[in-house]
Amino acid sequence: MQPIVQISLDLTHIDEALETAAMALRAGVDWLEAGTPLLLAEGLHGVKKLRDAFPDVPIVADLKTMDGGYLETEMMAKAGATHVVVMARAHEETIKVVVQAGKDFNVKVMGDNLGCPDMVAGAKKLEALGCDYVIHHIGYDERRGIAAAGLPMPSPLDELQKIVEAVNVPVQAVGGLSLEQAIQCPEYGAPMVVLGAPLTIDADAFKTAEGNLESSLRLICEKIHGYGQPSN
């Protein structure tokens, strides 16, 4: 598939999320993510407002579903989400009902391997149970805990090649990527690039990062969208 750029709206106020989303789309971002902080703060009403404002843009609801999967998927689909996220460490039945709800309500399912003891096995499980995409994810708290302890920082890129080779569905790498690492993802065979903290979102304050973000995003999108295209 062609590279896709997704911005993670890990914000806590819908007005700021709408403003950041509009700026990101002007810069060339393809998909919007209603991040977990936004869903906790605004719920499905936040998704509805994103859908009303951007009627034709794919919206990922980062639910991180662990239980009650059918209802959560149905609610977000009816609110306007096109994609939902279920965790690999949820019970298999939860993953199955999320996949079924995805079929029933025309929503794609993204399976997240965050916290799996074996990340490759987690990715394989998600694909086997019917997920449309795999998210290879090093968690926010995990990264901060490791940093506080002064230990070497893991990166989603560490096992990304193994994940890509293990599954046949598209893979997305998430978790503290630098700008250079995010742009490299398509080279690993992971064409779905997520821009979030710390690139576009302040990882401590959960606010939009300062600086000329739109200009930076435009350059990032051009670089990612140009992957594999012949140079002039």
Instruction: Give CA–CA dist 32/7, Å, rounded.
Output: 5
For residues 99 and 92, the answer to whether their CB atoms sit within 8 Å is: no
Q: Nearest to residue 67, comparing CAs of 43, 97, 46?
A: 97
- Measured at the CA of 19, the angle between CA 225 and CA 63, to 5 degrees, comes to 75
Per-residue pLDDT of the chain (232 residues; tens, 9 = 90+): 899 999 999 999 999 999 999 999 999 999 999 999 999 999 999 999 999 999 999 999 999 999 999 999 999 999 999 999 999 999 999 999 999 999 999 999 999 999 999 999 999 999 999 999 999 999 888 888 888 899 888 889 999 999 999 999 999 999 888 888 888 999 999 999 998 755 554 444 445 555 678 888 898 899 999 986 755 5
| Neighbour tally for 54: CB within 10 Å | 16
Q: Nearest to residue 135, comparing CAs of 169, 95, 92?
A: 169
Q: What would the two tokens of residue 72 be?
A: 């959560």
Q: Which residue has the tokens 């991040």?
A: 35
The whole model's pTM is what? 0.91
List 200's β-bridge partners, or say none.
none
Q: Which CATH number fits domain 4-225: 3.40.50.620, 3.40.50.12160, 3.20.20.70, 3.90.1150.10?
A: 3.20.20.70
Instruction: Give CA–CA dist 60/167, Å, rounded.
Output: 21
For residues 11 and 35, the answer to whether their CB atoms sit within 8 Å is: yes
For residues 155 and 178, the answer to whether their CB atoms sit within 8 Å is: no
The sign of the CA dihedral 34, 40, 44, 48 is: negative
Cα 54 vs. chain centroid, distance in angstroms?
18
